[in-house]
Amino acid sequence: DAGVTQSPTHLIKTRGQQVTLRCSPKSGHDTVSWYQQALGQGPQFIFQYYEEEERQRGNFPDRFSGHQFPNYSSELNVNALLLGDSALYLCASSTAYEQYFGPGTRLTVT
Amino acid sequence: DQQVKQNSPSLSVQEGRISILNCDYTNSMFDYFLWYKKYPAEGPTFLISISSIKDKNEDGRFTVFLNKSAKHLSLHIVPSQPGDSAVYFCGGGTSYGKLTFGQGTILTVHP
């Protein structure tokens, strides 16, 4: 079992650009959540997908959007990147309350 | 609005001694609480959880205590080992699994 995988590992973008991050959930998991972890902070909930629908959303602007595919994998899209979007983006999958996290994608916006 | 707070940014403990990590919360709607630990360059790893209707849960060297009246939970690690050195996050969870995390506490266990 590969666990939760995320790609890419690292990414450098310029202000104003758009980025897409990808996540493959742990085998058997149907729910995917995305978190943003800024330096020195705990992960902050962005949104959660279940059955290809956004089920819950945290306090993030509409520039942050996502998608879940029939195979339960998911994408996080961020438009009009700001310097403040630089962070570690974590994906977590679950079937119940325990969430399994991937290693994250480190996004740097210059 | 910080619903979960870990007021100690770091903790240093001698190997073999007890490590106590603390967490305070304000949201009474949490159904459960969890502790995760995180090593550099890895995602957070689930450690232990506790339902909001319990006051204690134990798993090997790890015990979590919940004091609902004080809105406080703590993680005890006994005995502490150098491999326990990591960042520890406490989190509160509601239905459908949205987790709200504290800022984390860096635990260093010295040999």
> What tens digit of pLDDT does each residue of A23-81 get?
999 998 999 999 999 988 999 999 999 999 999 999 999 999 999 999 999 999 999 99
Chain A CB contacts of B97 below 8 Å: 31, 33, 48, 94, 96-97, 99
Q: What is the pLDDT of residue B96?
A: 67
Mean residue pLDDT across chain B: 94
Chain B CB contacts of A99 below 8 Å: 46, 97, 99
All residues at 6 or more sequence positions from B26 whose CB lies less than 8 Å from its CB, including other chains: B1, B2, B3, B4, B5, B71
What is residue B59's three-state secondary structure? Answer: strand
Closest CA to A85 of A26, A25, A44: A44
- CA torsion angle B8 A102 A55 A41 (round to 10): 20
What is residue A98's three-state secondary structure? Answer: coil
Chain B CB contacts of A104 below 8 Å: 43
Q: What is the pLDDT of residue A62?
A: 96
Find out whether A89 and A103 touch, Cβ atoms under 8 Å. no
Q: What is the pLDDT of residue B98?
A: 85
What does R_g of chain A's alpha carbons equal in angstroms? 13
pLDDT digits (tens, 9 = 90+) for A2-18: 799 999 999 999 999 99
Q: What is the pLDDT of residue A106?
A: 95
Q: Look up tokens 């973008």; give the residue.
A: A13
A33, A42, A55 member nearest B103 (Cβ): A42
Highest average pLDDT, of A82-91, B45-54, B95-104, comes from A82-91
Find out whether B38 and B104 touch, Cβ atoms under 8 Å. yes
pLDDT digits (tens, 9 = 90+) for B9-54: 999 999 999 999 999 999 888 999 999 999 988 889 999 999 999 9
Per-residue pLDDT band for B82 (boundaries 50, 70, 90) equals very high
The answer to whether A48 contacts chain B (CB < 8 Å) is yes
**Mean pLDDT across B83-96:** 91
